[in-house]
Amino acid sequence: MKYLFLILFFCACSDAPTMKPRDINEYYQNSGVLNYYLSEIPLWASFSTSGKCFHKQSTAYIDLQKIQDSFGLSFGDGLQLQLQLNLLRNFKHKTLKVEEQFFYDSLEKIRAKFYPFKTNDFEVANVVWFEGHSDSDFNKIAHSNTLNSAPVIFLSLCLSHQALNKKLETLNLSYQYQTLSVESMTIFNENVAMPYWQIPLKAWIGEKKKINFFSKEPIPSEIKEAVIWQK
């Protein structure tokens, strides 16, 4: 019986697959684009005090200082890169290889001046804060002739670009508009990182533009530039 056990043991060992070291070339070697990303914020810690909401999606924020140093992009172009990158990612988990491809595809578009958020030559912009109104008030102002005086930009501190545009599509608005959402936020200005999140309207819309900010609520702390509050 003892010999039978030893025979079965050696047979089992001889049938076991041989473990070989994995070829290092089988692993994907990323080129370091992840160094340009800020650490991902967990959803339980991702919120807007002004908007009174938790964010429902993960957003990729980038280190705009590193982007400027490495690629020579302006502050405004860095913001456009961040937005374009998020539009490609669509908040889905991707492999490192795909993430790298998204990064360089986005960088190429911005260098070619194909911006996801396009400004115009008007001297005035009407910015409507989504969370600054009740649902009924927002519907009224969105359909109001008051907004006809200048291009319209809808801003949200809570919703993603995709979610905000879906809500606006249900209003069947008769005019063209643009949106600034959570992907438009940053902790940077032109020079340094700041200890707060903001949507730098002047960098997005234009330094010389007059901004009419429509909100029933006070201007949120995330909006740092001087705007004209339109209640």
State the average pLDDT for the chain.
85
Residue written as token pair 């599509």: 169
CB within 8 Å of 62: residues ≥ 6 apart: 36, 37, 38, 78, 81, 82, 85
| pLDDT of amino acid 29 | 52
Please report, as a single letter, which amino acid is at residue 109: K
> Cα Rg for the chain, rounded, in angstroms?
25
Token pair of 21 as six digits: 């070291």
DSSP tally for the chain: helices H, then strands E: 7, 9
- Report the percentage of the chain scoring pLDDT > 90: 63
Per-residue pLDDT of 81-126, as tens digits, reads 999 999 987 755 667 788 888 899 999 999 999 999 988 778 999 9
- Residues of 94-116 as b/e, b for ≥16 C-beta within 10 angstroms? eeeeebbebbeebbebbeeeebb
CB within 8 Å of 219: residues ≥ 6 apart: 213, 227, 229
| pLDDT of amino acid 48 | 93
pLDDT confidence bin for 145, thresholds 50/70/90:
very high
> What does the alpha-carbon distance between residue 59 and residue 46 come to, in Å, rounded to a whole number?
9
Alpha carbon of 71 to those of 7, 68, 103, 113, 188: distances in Å?
A: 66, 6, 12, 14, 17
User: How many other β-carbons are positioned within 10 Å of the β-carbon of residue 210?
Assistant: 15
Across the range 144-165, mean pLDDT stands at 94
- In contact, 105 and 81? CB cutoff 8 Å: no
Q: Interhelix angle for 161-169 vs 75-89, to 10°?
A: 70
| pLDDT of amino acid 31 | 63
Across the range 68-75, mean pLDDT stands at 93
pLDDT for 27 beyond 50: no
| pLDDT of amino acid 179 | 97
Per-residue pLDDT of 163-206, as tens digits, reads 999 999 999 999 999 999 999 999 998 888 888 899 999 999 98
| pLDDT of amino acid 22 | 43
pLDDT confidence bin for 211, thresholds 50/70/90:
very high
pLDDT for 75 beyond 70: yes
